[in-house]
Structure 1
Amino acid sequence: MALEIPGYYYDPDRRKYFRIENSKTAPKEAAWSAANVKRRAEEESEDAARTARLRRHARRVRPAPVRAAPLLGGLLAREAGEGGGVSPGGETLVRAWAGGLRAKGMLRLQPENITGGTVSSMWIGPSDERSGLGVAYGIVDGMCFAGSYIPRDGDDDINFGYAAERCPGLRLRPARYAQFTPQLMAINFHGPSRKMIVANRAYPHFNVSISYFTPGHSSAGDSGPAWVVDDDNDIVPFHTVLRGSNNTSVHACQPAPTGSRLTCVFGTTDGIAQLQDDQPTWLTPPAPPNHRRKRKQNTRGGRHAGHLSQHPNSDIHPWQQDVLSIDFLAQHPEIVLAGTRSSHVCLLDLRISPLDWRPKSNTFGHFSSVAHIKSVGPHSVLAAGPRNAMSLYDIRFLQQQRPPRPPGGEGTTTTAPAAANGWGNAATPIVVFPEYRNKAHVDIGLDVLTEPGYGCSGLVAAAHDDATVGLYSLQDGARIASPAVDGIRAPGEVKSMMWQTLPGDRHPSLFVGEGPCIKKYSFWA
């Protein structure tokens, strides 16, 4: 910085000092004339004062609270040309909709005189538009299997008293079915055949038993609902045993979509089973008996057991081991997705022989055991499990490289075993969910809402290991605020939940198994 000398002007361009001259003798445009020197000094003083004033005001200005509102704030941002109408961290409309979810009642599957219990598996479905009733089937602690209507009043609350006045003579209380043996493991519904499918443990040899029944259906002329929740004596299930399933447990049951030759597929501790033509068989070739005995020893102690050891040259493939979750790839009824305890995500093409499946081409690694696998589009797969690991993958971008480190969280610093076991086929997540919290549980609830209009990609409802539930955007992985859902405090970990649109509703509702009850959360402005 040039030194200021009284009576002289420093020209920064010429880097010289000039004597300040009277304006009468100096040239008109001369920078060293007294008038020009005085004018510049006043302008610099004004600029300095303006800058100081702006700095003071910047500390006083705060964004209007309305800008934080997901709907109105997003609309204001769009009018101002900020972000194209999308609020920071997620989609405007889905954030507003999630914020408007409210608790809308519950139904209890277990008698009032029995305390405790948790809904371990459930299925929610629409009954018919004629009566406006929904239906729920659920299993409590693997022991109590019950079905119930979901009656609602004018405020969209579950209200059995209101429905009793509108539907006199209809049996609304939950029906409990004693025809199913204890140790019920999974339940789901196959729409094309209208079969309610239940997987349970059969005695005396502890084989897996696949049971199914068709819920009652009244004629169109009846005044009651088209879908009838039958009394205990009216249910006549068909039971069949999965051969070679001694001491096998079922983790997941997924009905096949329209166009598939199968009725259902099952993820078990010994691979994948299938139900076809009312007979359950093994879809994957069974592992050698000595490996199965070793697996029983390694996983003894519950479903929280760690990864299985896997030798690079082993002939035992991931889909022959402990399959925790299973799904069908969207728009591909012949491609099955399987998530394993050993951290593998498997894409299995049913059009070719299972003997021709190769891990190097159809398997990639997740950051933990894959407790949940969900198809959320023709190319996107969501995998979630322990170690706070939930990620979205694009199966078109499978790469021959090691996966990156997990996106943070305690205990998430190891790479996926699928890359470490010599197979090398891994995928890099396109979206991670840093606020997902599940350190150790594989028996925990999760469901994905993929209906159009609810976010660019969809919305995930995921249970946490502290008995809470969170909503997440599939677009960027951010957690979406929802006071009602964020306020859930279940008696224990939530093991089952489901998005479903009931008859007469314009929006889907979230059904959450909180203890022995199924609670409903719906949008209500």
Structure 2
Amino acid sequence: MNREIPGFYYDPEKKKYFKIEASHKAPAGSQYSKDAVKRKRKDQEKRQRKVHLTRRIAKEKIKRASFLANPLIGAEREIGTQLVTKSARQDQRGLLYAGQLRRNQLHQFEPWPDEYSIKHVLRNQRSGILVASGHRGGESSVSICFPDCDQEKWTYNRTMERVLFKEPYRLSSISLSHTGYLLATMDSGPNGDSFLAPRMLPDPDEGGDYRWPPSFSHPVRLRMASSLWCSAPCPVGTMPFFAIGTSDGLHTLEGFGSYWALSKKSFANDVYSGKPILHRRIDSSHALVTSVEWLSAQVIAAGLKDSAIFLHDLRSAGTATRLQHSHAITKIKSVDPYRMVVAGINSLKMYDIRYPANGLQRNPNPNSKHHTSTKPYLSFSDYSPEIIPDFDISPELGLLASG
């Protein structure tokens, strides 16, 4: 790196120093006038920031460990001393991956204004913004933290935290769309009311600064009569699109800025379990959607408190019950367009919707001794959470983490 000399500009292409001329004295088209040099330096800084960002993203992406492709791992099978089944080999690889995991603290949010317990945490993969929700008693808050973009790796400190809102409501879920929109679902307000709060989060500009969109000063609130339990963003598309689980079934929310459309989806008219449920009263276990997940851009999976899981197709507006879990649904995560992992109290199972439907009942009741369930594709017998059942999936590594 050549040192800076006041009044001179080092040209990396010609590898020489040139005197910087005053803009009003330099001939037209001069490469080394004060304004021309300023433009060159600005372009050079912009290129360096772009290279810096590319390197940081490459470092944060999870890469498959090269040693897993080493033939020595399967040496025993190759020489015929031991027959290793496919499932056993997958278990070995899973243990290798899990053995490399280490616990690390990414950021500790300021307990503003009192000690709040963190309930949800999300990170915008495009901008690096951390989103966290907290709750204490009858109050909930949503805070964000901007990353320090000057480092090779995103880092966070409390000086970059901002509180989006603090309300006397129960915050049931937050969802972050790939379009940059954040949706918070709030219910159990002072008057028993509920509302949806979609907001656009800022993206960094070329200088690394975060600028709030003009619509931020006028937050949108969509009031609802039913309780809100969960939400999930559509993984693709140019517009923000959310699936929402309520005490009155499945809804979808689509729009941008101040323009949003809320749509209620029909319940399943089951043909597998005989006659359909005629009366799905609001707040009943047959109407309360406790978890939603997108299997694709057109298909939504919704889990009910009565343990049933129905699929809704946006193209045909058709809905059908496909699965029945052993307990009330607490969370659904998709593995691919056909497989999903479903959690209940002390139960975690994977299902494949390509198998014929089985174990369905007209009025399922997970608390009944006569309750049945769909035969799972895979069961996780070690799953036994003590307090709040939760889990997550890493499709890149093929790992499931539960807590």
TM-score, structure 2 length as denominator? 0.65
Instruction: Identify which of 223, 244, 258 aligns with 1:266.
Output: 244
CA contact (8 A) 1:324 1:339 kept: yes
Q: How far did 1:434 drift?
A: 0.7
What is the CA–CA distance in structure 2 between the aligned matches of 1:229 and 1:445, rounded to whole Å?
A: 34
User: Could you say which residue in structure 1 is the equivalent of 2:350?
Assistant: 392
What is the CA–CA distance in structure 2 between the aligned matches of 1:104 and 1:198, rounded to whole Å?
A: 27
User: Could you say which residue in structure 2 is the equivalent of 1:461?
Assistant: 401
Q: How far did 1:397 drift?
A: 0.8
**1:203-249 superposed Cα distances (whole Å, 9 cap, x missing partner):** 664332111222223432x1x25xx3869x99435323244x1xx33
Q: How far did 1:385 drift?
A: 0.8
User: Could you say which residue in structure 2 is the equivalent of 1:119?
Assistant: 118
User: Could you say which residue in structure 2 is the equivalent of 1:173?
Assistant: 160
User: Could you say which residue in structure 2 is the equivalent of 1:363?
Assistant: 322
What is the CA–CA distance in structure 2 between the aligned matches of 1:152 and 1:91, rounded to whole Å?
A: 38
Task: Tell me the SS of whatever aligns to 1:336.
Answer: strand
Residues 242-281 of structure 1: matches in 2 within 5 Å? 242-243=223-224, 245=225, 248-259=226-237, 263-277=241-255, 278-281=259-262
What is the CA–CA distance in structure 2 between the aligned matches of 1:195 and 1:265, rounded to whole Å?
A: 14
What is the CA–CA distance in structure 1 between the aligned matches of 2:119 and 2:277, rounded to whole Å?
A: 34
Q: 1:153 to 1:211 in 2, by over 3 A?
A: same
Q: 1:206 to 1:229 in 2, by over 3 A?
A: farther
CA contact (8 A) 2:230 2:292 kept: yes
Instruction: Identify which of 345, 367, 375 aligns with 1:428.
Output: 375
User: Could you say which residue in structure 2 is the equivalent of 1:449?
Assistant: 394
CA contact (8 A) 2:291 2:332 kept: yes
Mapped pair 1:143 → 2:140: yes
**1:68-102 superposed Cα distances (whole Å, 9 cap, x missing partner):** x9x99945545544345979473444422221111
What is the CA–CA distance in structure 1 between the aligned matches of 2:232 and 2:121, rounded to whole Å?
A: 12
Q: 1:174 to 1:259 in 2, by over 3 A?
A: closer
What is the CA–CA distance in structure 1 between the aligned matches of 2:190 and 2:170, rounded to whole Å?
A: 13
User: Could you say which residue in structure 2 is the equivalent of 1:407?
Assistant: none
1:344 maps to a residue whose letter is A
User: Could you say which residue in structure 2 is the equivalent of 1:343?
Assistant: 307
Task: Tell me the SS of whatever aligns to 1:140.
Answer: strand
Q: How far did 1:173 drift?
A: 3.3
CA contact (8 A) 1:104 1:157 kept: no
Q: 1:314 to 1:154 in 2, by over 3 A?
A: closer
Structure number with greater CO (CA < 8 Å, separation at least 6) is 1
Q: 1:270 to 1:416 in 2, by over 3 A?
A: farther
Q: How far did 1:376 drift?
A: 0.7
CA contact (8 A) 1:210 1:280 kept: no
CA contact (8 A) 1:325 1:340 kept: yes
Larger deviation: 426-435 or 337-346? 426-435
CA contact (8 A) 1:379 1:394 kept: yes
**1:22-44 superposed Cα distances (whole Å, 9 cap, x missing partner):** xxxxxxxxxxxxxxxxxxxxxxx
Residues 482-501 of structure 1: matches in 2 within 5 Å? none
Q: 1:260 to 1:339 in 2, by over 3 A?
A: farther
Residues 189-268 of structure 1: matches in 2 within 5 Å? 189-192=176-179, 194-201=180-187, 205-220=191-206, 222=207, 224=208, 228=210, 235-236=216-217, 238-243=219-224, 245=225, 248-259=226-237, 263-268=241-246
What is the CA–CA distance in structure 2 between the aligned matches of 1:401 and 1:112, rounded to whole Å?
A: 48
What is the CA–CA distance in structure 2 between the aligned matches of 1:234 and 1:279, rounded to whole Å?
A: 13
Aligned-residue CA RMSD in angstroms? 4.1
What is the CA–CA distance in structure 1 between the aligned matches of 2:332 and 2:302, rounded to whole Å?
A: 7
User: Could you say which residue in structure 2 is the equivalent of 1:299?
Assistant: none
Task: Tell me the SS of whatever aligns to 1:314.
Answer: coil
1:177 maps to a residue whose letter is L
Residues 500-519 of structure 1: matches in 2 within 5 Å? none
Q: 1:206 to 1:280 in 2, by over 3 A?
A: farther
2:133 maps to a residue whose letter is I
Larger radius of gyration: 1
1:447 maps to a residue whose letter is D
**1:437-466 superposed Cα distances (whole Å, 9 cap, x missing partner):** 037x6x532211112xx2xxx211111xxx
Residues 264-343 of structure 1: matches in 2 within 5 Å? 264-277=242-255, 278-285=259-266, 314-316=277-279, 321-329=287-295, 332-343=296-307
User: Could you say which residue in structure 2 is the equivalent of 1:99?
Assistant: 99
CA contact (8 A) 2:195 2:223 kept: yes
Percent identical pairs in the alignment equals 18
User: Could you say which residue in structure 2 is the equivalent of 1:499?
Assistant: none
Task: Tell me the SS of whatever aligns to 1:108.
Answer: coil
**1:322-353 superposed Cα distances (whole Å, 9 cap, x missing partner):** 11100111xx3221101111010111122234
Task: Tell me the SS of whatever aligns to 1:216.
Answer: coil
What is the CA–CA distance in structure 2 between the aligned matches of 1:413 and 1:214, rounded to whole Å?
A: 42
CA contact (8 A) 1:447 1:462 kept: yes
CA contact (8 A) 1:256 1:328 kept: yes
Q: How far did 1:189 drift?
A: 1.1
What is the CA–CA distance in structure 1 between the aligned matches of 2:313 and 2:109, rounded to whole Å?
A: 38
**1:346-376 superposed Cα distances (whole Å, 9 cap, x missing partner):** 111222346xx45xxx332110011111111
Q: 1:113 to 1:283 in 2, by over 3 A?
A: closer
CA contact (8 A) 2:341 2:350 kept: yes
User: Could you say which residue in structure 1 is the equivalent of 2:25?
Assistant: none
Q: How far did 1:106 drift?
A: 3.5
Instruction: Work out the number of aligned pairs and report it.
Output: 317
List gaps (5 residues or longer) in structure 2. Answer: 1-67
User: Could you say which residue in structure 1 is the equivalent of 2:28?
Assistant: none
What is the CA–CA distance in structure 2 between the aligned matches of 1:364 and 1:260, rounded to whole Å?
A: 31
What is the CA–CA distance in structure 1 between the aligned matches of 2:278 and 2:380, rounded to whole Å?
A: 34
